[in-house]
Structure 1
Amino acid sequence: MGATDRLDRYQPLVLGLFRIVIGLLFTSEGAATLFGVLDRDATPAGDWPFWYAGVIELVCGLLVLLGVLARAAAFFSSGAMAFAYFTEHQPDGLFPLQNGGLAPALFCWGFLLLVFFGPGSLSLSGVFRRDAAPERRG
């Protein structure tokens, strides 16, 4: 068994941990925007596009964090971050380091990764799926 084989067997776990961390970070962005926590002022309700982005961040972040409808939530989140990058950041410069759009760019690509690779292990949907699966009799 080579080093690659040993690493490969941990892919579902590491992907699950990645999903949890990115979901937690995204949820904290939404909570900060909507509720004014974490040294940030709350955005007034209905303020376009920031309040709506906060709702997406909070709801989709929680779904990704918990691993419930994770692919759909990650797809929606990736699109929202692409929109944020191109409408709010990209006009100020081509590269994320120039325009302050590093977080949206990283979130966009991180969520896109989850769309294609799935939630990994440690997801609530995986727990429910295992419990709902009929037992096989040999």
Structure 2
Amino acid sequence: MEAAAIKTLRYLSVSEIQEHLNGVEYIIMAAPAPDNFKETPIHFTIFLNTSDNLPKDIQKAVFDKFLYEEGIKNPIEVMSQIMPVGFSEGVQETLMPMLLVKQEDMRSIPNAPMFVIDFLADSDNFSEAKDKSLTGWTYSYN
């Protein structure tokens, strides 16, 4: 059985994104990793609600805290930097964050800069992504 694609009904405008992120501390997204990464079956993206370029020691402290709190192990291919993030409205309860990496998406989809940590890893706390090949995300508010 193949998982259905997440349908986008519309993208938020830049002002709607700013309003939506009001009070959000971070968003964590878990998706199935490509099949060839057996030891690290989950693709994680952590969206921090800041556009500040965090110093390396702060980045490491934040990353280590996520690993510990979420039971995440064996992180590889870690990328952390400010990236454009769009948000789509669909049939799911919460708005889906979308890391924009293609130039055409950055131009065509309204977005806001956020500090993003993107990596592959393993965790028993994210069975939906690991065992059922589903993508999900959770918002944390201050």
Same fold (TM over 0.5): no
TM-score of the superposed pair, with normalisation by structure 1: 0.25
TM-score of the superposed pair, with normalisation by structure 2: 0.24
Q: Considering only CA atoms, is the larger Rg found in Structure 1 or Structure 2?
A: 1
Greater strand share, 1 or 2? Answer: 2
Which fold has the larger relative contact order, with Cα–Cα distance below 8 Å and residues 6 or more apart in sequence? 2
Greater helix share, 1 or 2? Answer: 1
